[in-house]
Chains A and B, each alone.
Chain A
Amino acid sequence: MYQLGEDDHLIKAYLEGDENAFSSLVVRHMDKVFSICYRYTGNHDDASDCAQDIFVKVYNNLHTFRFKSAFSTWLYRIVVNSCKNYVSKSSFRSWNTSLSLSASGDATVCYADIADSKGAPDAAFEKKEIQHLVMQAVQKLPGDMKMLIILRDFENRSYEEITGITGMKMGTIKSRISRARIRLKEMLKEDLLDEM
């Protein structure tokens, strides 16, 4: 039997009229949601816009949440669909306008923490560069594969959770993720394997 978590109590409080409970719910999940949106869209402004869209949908549809599964699973389902819709709606801006690491202000936001990482500035920059290349390669994946890679590799969701979020079969998810990694290897092997 599904145990009610903190999210569920917040939802109940919101449904009983406590608007602050919704704000608390947003605060608990906004970074995760923004993070997925950023990795999917590859652009800070788009990610922010998309994340807000998602929470507006959550706000308008929270009364339909039935407490039969974790709120995070329900939320991630909205995230997956909204990201796909957002990208397809906005006649998508190509990935290279977003993660141009050196020029974009977005990159400063995203990789600001890396500057504080231990080690020499050159090593930090090199690491940042590699991570940027990884992100670029992920951006080049087709929509479904990209979302699966984000959920599994970046968000560390289990295969069971991904099944619940996407509605795909476990075997399909595993084989798609495997094919996505083969593609990533093709794109990144010179940068990652040469380094070793």
Chain B
Amino acid sequence: MKCNRVQELLEEYARGELPGRESSIIKLHLETCSSCREHYVFLKKYLEEVEAMPEYRAPDNFIESLTTRIHETNRGFSFSKIFDFLFLPWKIKLPIEAAALLVTGIIVITIYYPVIDNHNIQKDDTGTIYHVTENMKTKAPAISAPAEKAERKADKPQPVTIQLALLVHPEKQETLDQYSSSSSNARMSAPAKRRAAAADMEEESLAGEKEQTVSPGNVISDIKAMVYRLEGKVLHTQVNEDTGHTDLHVSIPSHRANEFIRDLSTRGTLKDTPVMPVHEKPAEIIFKITIK
């Protein structure tokens, strides 16, 4: 056995706590190793002195001082107290708090998410689009969260629908002539094909109007040509048999909506003349024009 191992066991040997076999090995080693023997002698003396030392006693006023200290420590505001109260013991409080936080988050998102979305729409159009269909406002909160999410995933901005009433009358004939000449000078830029076709249709329409009296039918084809020129789409046309009015549904890119309304007002009298803000969202605006 090496000396350092012997010295590790010497204390137990000196106390008589070592098993017989190891004890006899140590005894044998001590007979031959003076260094370990010296260490053993020291150890015995050292342990004797230590055992003879008195037990120290706490001061007489220890309990009183401790009581005062505990009251002082636990009185008043303390971050460590709050921390202990909130988080200790970790194993119990942290999972509960995490679960509570998660549930609260889900509830808040569930309640406020559609409102926030609706609010954004209103904010975009405040003061300008007063014709935003009511069903847009009322429908939004009714949409369930999963359906809302699905719509968002599809990343399709909701179109804004504007209802207009266009009253056609003969006095607009001159304006139409002017518009015809100005539109013939309209720039023929890209997308060339589409615009050229739109311009041709418009010219044809206006030429027809010159020869004929202004009628709802002429105005409809005129408006369609205008829609194509503005890179919009004609969605559908519907004639109301009861009233005889024609409803024209068209979709116009939002940044050209004002131009469309302005041009539209040259074709007749608009009941309301909304001014559209030029913005990117929504990408398109659907106009429902009732032509009387």
Contacts and interface: CB of A to CB of B under 8 A. Distances in A.
B211 interface: no
A174 B4 CA distance: 11
A185 B70 contact: no
Nearest to A54: B66
B45 A34 contact: no
Contacts of A110: 54, 56
B54 A185 contact: no
A60 interface: yes
Contacts of B49: 127, 130-131, 134, 192
Contact of B56 (A38, A174, A196): A38
Nearest to B69: A52
Q: Which of A34, A39, A114 has the most CB of B within 10 A?
A: A34
Contact of A35 (B45, B55, B63): B55
B62 A181 contact: no
Interface in A5-19: none
B4 to A, nearest CB: 7
A31 B42 contact: no
Interface residues of B, number: 34
A192 B89 CA distance: 50
Interface string B91-109: 0000000000000000000
A66 to B, nearest CB: 9
Interface in A89-111: 109-111
Interface string A20-40: 000100110011011100110
Closest 7 CB pairs between A and B? A34-B58, A113-B54, A35-B56, A30-B58, A178-B8, A192-B45, A185-B42
A27 B57 CA distance: 11
Given A31-B58, A193-B38, A193-B41, A134 B50 contact: yes
Contact of B66 (A26, A114, A127, A131): A26
B111 interface: no
Contacts of A38: 56
A184 B11 CA distance: 13
Contacts of A64: 88-89
Nearest to A55: B66
B150 interface: no
Interface of A: 23, 26-27, 30-31, 33-35, 38-39, 44, 47-48, 51-52, 55-56, 59-61, 63-64, 109-114, 127, 130-131, 134-135, 152-154, 174-175, 177-178, 181-182, 184-185, 188-189, 192-193, 195-196
Given A38-B56, A153-B47, A52 B62 contact: yes
Nearest to A112: B54
Given A23-B63, A181-B11, A192 B58 contact: no
A46 to B, nearest CB: 12
Interface of B is mostly: helix
26 contacts: A30-B58, A33-B58, A34-B57, A35-B55, A35-B57, A44-B59, A56-B69, A60-B84, A61-B88, A110-B54, A112-B54, A114-B54, A127-B52, A134-B46, A134-B49, A154-B50, A174-B8, A178-B8, A178-B11, A181-B43, A182-B39, A185-B39, A185-B43, A192-B46, A193-B42, A196-B45
A111 B73 CA distance: 33
Most buried by A among B7, B46, B63, B65: B46
Nearest to A32: B55
Chain B CB within 10 A, most for which of A181, A189, A193: A181
A161 B27 CA distance: 27
Contacts of B69: 52, 56
Given A34-B56, A52-B66, A184-B46, 18 more contacts: A26-B62, A34-B59, A47-B56, A51-B58, A56-B70, A113-B54, A114-B54, A130-B49, A131-B52, A131-B53, A134-B50, A153-B46, A154-B50, A178-B8, A185-B42, A192-B45, A193-B42, A195-B45
Contacts of B11: 152, 177-178, 181
Nearest to A178: B8
Contact of A59 (B7, B65, B70): B70
